[in-house]
Chains A and B, each alone.
Chain A
């Protein structure tokens, strides 16, 4: 799936909160088109901050993020245009509670991509069909289970036809029996060639679906490689002790 085209290039990324805590301390990495990159690491390692810096939900205090060759950390760049092409899925779903599922999914395509409501509805129904939730189109988010909400959140992002999907611990807020249905959707997405950056604690997913695994700690990338290299032949002590704890 992986192509040679670099979709996202991160150079010396730093994020300091309130001048004291260094959440990110010089992160360099490249994400290729069609690649599934899984970011793992202990809590507080900066992996979520790293992900949120990719679409500037968190504004880095140093370094740069190049998306499609454009430095989006440049304050004169219209970040909104670039965010349309970077779908994001959150730990707590963040569906709009006052709108139906269909409205959740069509709001952005209609307002931003200037699609007609009919056109957007049609696309939304196709996507809902793919995740087996077309019968819930007119339901409200609080009528759905956590797993259903997260599947909706994924297709809501997909409705914008993004070039990359960012997942911020998408299964961490779910009951265990609902994790599988969300991971299934993500696996199919990966199989269809979507570029994905996934922050997760699901080591099984990382091993099975990831093209590359990044291990972060204390705001730095400690080790990266194929799932094979990371899980079967960890080099650094920190990764070894982390894997001992989580596997």
Chain B
């Protein structure tokens, strides 16, 4: 048999027979669901943690003693603890602990995975957003405060919208990393894209075809999202370009 005929036979065995392509499709769906949910959870956690930490660093010294100051200090401590624990342990271990120890009442693996990866990603997003907040000119902050905006409102209306633009490339990287990290979801019995390829490998005794196929799907996804982000970045930068360089 020629190479081409071998290839066709292996392809048929791995994907056509017994409708095995459905594994890949189902796995892809789960991978995307987990990644997107985790992304939303991660960004929400990340923004809150970043704001708590930079607020603490910025204004703790000017706060009057009282409940507000106490909660800010406590919040900052919890955020630091969260960052240390999450960034100091492997995500697979976190996933196993969540599934087999903490979230025992949730038996839907996909929900557990979305929460775990969300919490994990939040730690990285927090540091990205904090870096973004610190990169904004201090004058922007002072302008907001001098108009009478509170610290939180200045963050919300003035700083965070500008931060978003600054951190978009880093957030995109985090998203791509997250997409690939979810490939360990099979550890808690979820059929994600990687697990799907592995199931086909187990049933057909063909390693090359399903694993390369899985790799290609990840690659296409990553390339697709990278393009999407650079298009968005271009759109966000439109405001800067309008200057045309003629006036200073």
> Which A residues form the contact surface with B (CB < 8 A)?
55, 57, 59, 75-76, 80-81, 83-84, 86-88, 90, 92, 94-98, 107-108, 111-112, 139-140, 142-146, 156-157, 160, 175
Dominant SS among interface residues on chain A: loop
Closest chain A residue to B64, Cβ basis:
A75
**Bound CA–CA A76/B68 (angstroms):** 11
**Bound CA–CA A88/B161 (angstroms):** 22
Closest chain A residue to B62, Cβ basis:
A59
**Bound CA–CA A112/B165 (angstroms):** 25
- B139: Cβ under 8 A from any A Cβ: yes
Q: How many residues of B contact A (CB 8 A)?
A: 27
Asked if B165 and A98 make an inter-chain contact with CB atoms under 8 angstroms apart, the answer reads: yes
Stretch at the interface among B9-17, B145-153, B183-191: B145-153
* Residues of A contacting B242 in the complex (Cβ-Cβ under 8 angstroms): 139-140, 142-143
Chain B 55-88 per-residue mask, 1 if CB under 8 angstroms from chain A, else 0: 0000000111000000000000000000000000
Asked if B148 and A145 make an inter-chain contact with CB atoms under 8 angstroms apart, the answer reads: no
* Residues of B contacting A57 in the complex (Cβ-Cβ under 8 angstroms): 142, 145-146
Asked if A90 and B148 make an inter-chain contact with CB atoms under 8 angstroms apart, the answer reads: no
* Residues of A contacting B162 in the complex (Cβ-Cβ under 8 angstroms): 96-98
**Which of A59, A139, A143, A160 interacts with B147 by CB under 8 Å?**
A160
**Bound CA–CA A156/B146 (angstroms):** 11
- B248: Cβ under 8 A from any A Cβ: yes
**Bound CA–CA A143/B243 (angstroms):** 4
Number of A-B residue pairs at CB separation under 8 A: 82
Asked if A142 and B240 make an inter-chain contact with CB atoms under 8 angstroms apart, the answer reads: yes
- B157: Cβ under 8 A from any A Cβ: yes
Q: Which of B200-225 contact A (CB under 8 A)?
A: none
**Bound CA–CA A27/B158 (angstroms):** 33
What is the minimal beta-carbon distance from B73 to any residue of chain A, in angstroms?
16
Closest chain A residue to B69, Cβ basis:
A75
Known: A157-B147, A160-B148. A107 touches B248 (CB 8 A): no
Asked if B239 and A84 make an inter-chain contact with CB atoms under 8 angstroms apart, the answer reads: no
Given contacts A75-B62, A156-B147, 4 further A-B contacts (CB under 8 A): A98-B161, A107-B157, A143-B247, A157-B147
- 4 closest Cβ pairs, A-B complex: A75-B64, A84-B148, A94-B143, A88-B146
> Which B residues form the contact surface with A (CB < 8 A)?
62-64, 137, 139-140, 142-143, 145-150, 153, 157-158, 161-162, 165, 239-240, 242-244, 247-248
**Bound CA–CA A107/B137 (angstroms):** 19
What is the minimal beta-carbon distance from A23 to any residue of chain B, in angstroms?
16
Which of A59, A112, A139 is the most central at the interface, judged by chain B CB atoms within 10 Å of its CB?
A112
Asked if B239 and A108 make an inter-chain contact with CB atoms under 8 angstroms apart, the answer reads: no
Known: A92-B139, A97-B162. A83 touches B239 (CB 8 A): no
Known: A75-B64, A142-B240. A83 touches B247 (CB 8 A): no
**Bound CA–CA A84/B242 (angstroms):** 32
* Residues of A contacting B243 in the complex (Cβ-Cβ under 8 angstroms): 140, 142-143
Asked if A90 and B248 make an inter-chain contact with CB atoms under 8 angstroms apart, the answer reads: no
**Bound CA–CA A122/B239 (angstroms):** 24
Asked if B148 and A94 make an inter-chain contact with CB atoms under 8 angstroms apart, the answer reads: no
* Residues of B contacting A157 in the complex (Cβ-Cβ under 8 angstroms): 146-147
What is the minimal beta-carbon distance from B243 to any residue of chain A, in angstroms?
4
**Bound CA–CA A145/B143 (angstroms):** 19
**Which of A80, A92, A95, A98 interacts with B148 by CB under 8 Å?**
A80
Asked if B247 and A84 make an inter-chain contact with CB atoms under 8 angstroms apart, the answer reads: no
Asked if B239 and A97 make an inter-chain contact with CB atoms under 8 angstroms apart, the answer reads: yes
**Bound CA–CA A90/B142 (angstroms):** 9
Asked if B165 and A108 make an inter-chain contact with CB atoms under 8 angstroms apart, the answer reads: no
Asked if A80 and B149 make an inter-chain contact with CB atoms under 8 angstroms apart, the answer reads: yes
**Which of A86, A98, A144 interacts with B247 by CB under 8 Å?**
A144
Asked if B140 and A94 make an inter-chain contact with CB atoms under 8 angstroms apart, the answer reads: yes
Closest chain B residue to A159, Cβ basis:
B147
Known: A90-B139, A94-B142, A97-B239. A108 touches B149 (CB 8 A): yes
Asked if B240 and A94 make an inter-chain contact with CB atoms under 8 angstroms apart, the answer reads: no
Could you pull out 11 A-B pairs where Cβ atoms are within 8 angstroms?
A75-B62, A75-B64, A80-B148, A80-B150, A83-B147, A90-B142, A90-B146, A94-B137, A97-B240, A108-B148, A143-B242
